[in-house]
Each structure stands twice: as C-alpha cells, then as structure tokens.
Amino acid sequence: MLHSVAKLHYESELSQVQIAKQLGLSTATISRLLQRARAEGIVRIEVRDIFAPDALGAQVAHGLGLSQVVVVDAPPTGVLPALAVPLSRMLLAADLRKGSVLMIGWGRTVSAVIDAGLPQLPGVEVVPSAGGMQQHAQHFQSNEFTRRAAEATGGVPHFIHAPYLPDAEALDFFLADSSVQESVALWDRLDAAIVGIGQPYGLERPMTGAPTHLDPDLADAAGDVVRHYFGRDGRILDWRGEGQMIAVSCAQLRTCKLVVGIAVGEAKVPSIIGAARARLITALVTDTRTAEVLLDALAKDI
C-alpha cells in the first residue's frame, strides 16, 4: 500500500484527495501513508544544487581543463538549434577575418548548428575535417557541410574529393592530387574548428555501408573526434585507420586555438571527458543536463 500510494502521488502526480477517492480511504490516511513511505525509505527526495548556466559552465571548464564551456537551457523545441547562438558568439570573439581558416566537422549536432545559423565571416576559408565517407546519410557528408557553412558565413569553401579512409596503397595517390593538397594544407593553419564528439564505441548508431563487426582495438574507446578514438583518460587509441586517414590530425587540432566541441546527452559524458583529456577540443557547448552529469562524473573521478 505504501508503494502504491507513493507511486500515485509522486509519479502519477495525483493529489492526496484524488488518491483517497480512488482507493476509498480518507485524505488523512493517505497523508500518513506518504509520511511513512518517506520515513521507511520507499520515497527519497533530493534537492539538487542549482547553478546558473554561466557558473555551471565555469565549473565544467575548470574540471575539464578547457578555456571555455557554454551551457544552455534546453528549450521545449529541442536543444541542438539552441547551441548555435553561443557557438556563433565564440566564432565572432575569435576575430576570424578574410583568409582565416575555419574547419567544419560532421555529425548530426554539427548539421543542426549549421542549419540554425552561423555568423557572417566574410572571406573566411572553410575546409572540411576529413575526406568523404561512404555512408549515404546526410550527416556524414563533410564536403556538403563545408558548402553549407561557407554559404552561411559568406566564406570560401574548400572541398576534399577523396575518401577519408582510402586503401593503404591508394593513400599517396589521393594525397598527390593538387586539389586535395590545397585543401589539406589548410589544416596546418587552422584558426578555429567546429567538431562533433562521437559516443563511446559500440553505442554509435548503425551506419549504412559500415561493417557489422566491432573493431576489438576500439573496445575501450570512450568516443572520437574526427575518427580519432580515445579512452576516457585521453589516450589516443591505435586502430587500422589511425595515421592512414585523409583527415585533420590530432597534432593539427592541438595547435588550433579554438576547437569547439558541441555535444549533448548523458551517453556522451565519457566522450566529452575523453576528448578534453586528449586535448582535441579547447571549448565546449552543451546543455544544462549534460553539464550537471559531467560535474557528477568528474567528482567521482577525483
């Protein structure tokens, strides 16, 4: 009875009067049962500390060792478009001018912020983070992301007409192409980058054309940035593609002053921690719930 009354009141949100009528009991009896449910530990009420988004972001930034973390409240219509506003502010603060290089990652989150709007950055050189992928889904099309981002910012798009992971014997062939050389050379002088952060390996959504078997080398991967997989401790994991991809390198990301990771969701908390520890991002844009779980996770690591 204690359990039933507690579920009706705290989960179904029925009033004590409504529960009394439903069960044929007095309101006073329902009140006593709810008090007993709390006293016996059937019901536990927790009052969490509430931080303003700015304070929450500052705490997460300190815990992750990032230069900046911006936290947004998730609106009823969905959080992903809301990430575009603080991202735009970061890019404007970076003072990107004509000739500056902006790299665009790929993924659903990156796609959403491009659709929501990027700031005007006339003349900025926009380059993808990797060559093309075999998957057909829209959120894997790195060249298309670059085109859309350049259109939104007023920048100049650069494309990579080569696969992100060619056969080993074909890698040098693609890198010898002059148009590919021109684009990948921009990775050496990145001024800013926008990247998604992949989920722990094995939790990723199935990809059309992707192999069905899991790579044992990546069993401990907490996530990835541009297919550079890392453990929760930030160690870059060696797998067959590492070092053979036509993609921005870890070293090139680490020399960029502003690499903004955009990620939301509790499943991505270990991924965000790993990306920060791997020094593949310098800043983060996320939502309040993810930030709160990040703080809890970091506290348990100490």
Q: What is the DSSP string of 250-268?
A: HHHHHT-S-EEEE--SGGG
Which tokens sit at 71? 């936290």
Report the C-alpha gap between 172 and 43 in whole angstroms. Answer: 64
Confidence of residue 137 (pLDDT cuts 50, 70, 90): low
Model pLDDT, residue 262: 97
Does residue 50 carry a pLDDT above 50? Answer: no
The mean pLDDT of 113-128, rounded to a whole number, is: 96
pLDDT tens per residue, range 5-14:
998 998 888 9
Does residue 210 carry a pLDDT above 70? Answer: no
Confidence of residue 193 (pLDDT cuts 50, 70, 90): very high
Does residue 56 carry a pLDDT above 90? Answer: yes
Q: Cα 162 to chain center, whole Å?
A: 26
Confidence of residue 52 (pLDDT cuts 50, 70, 90): low
Model pLDDT, residue 180: 93
Contact 226, 195 (CB under 8 A): yes
pLDDT tens per residue, range 57-90:
999 999 999 999 999 987 767 788 999 999 999 9
Does residue 261 carry a pLDDT above 70? Answer: yes
Does residue 292 carry a pLDDT above 70? Answer: yes
Of the candidate ranges 4-18, 40-54, 201-215, the one whose mean pLDDT is the lowest: 201-215
Q: Starting at the earlier edge strand, list the strands of the sheet with 192-196.
A: 68-72, 283-287, 259-262, 192-196, 101-104, 125-128, 156-157
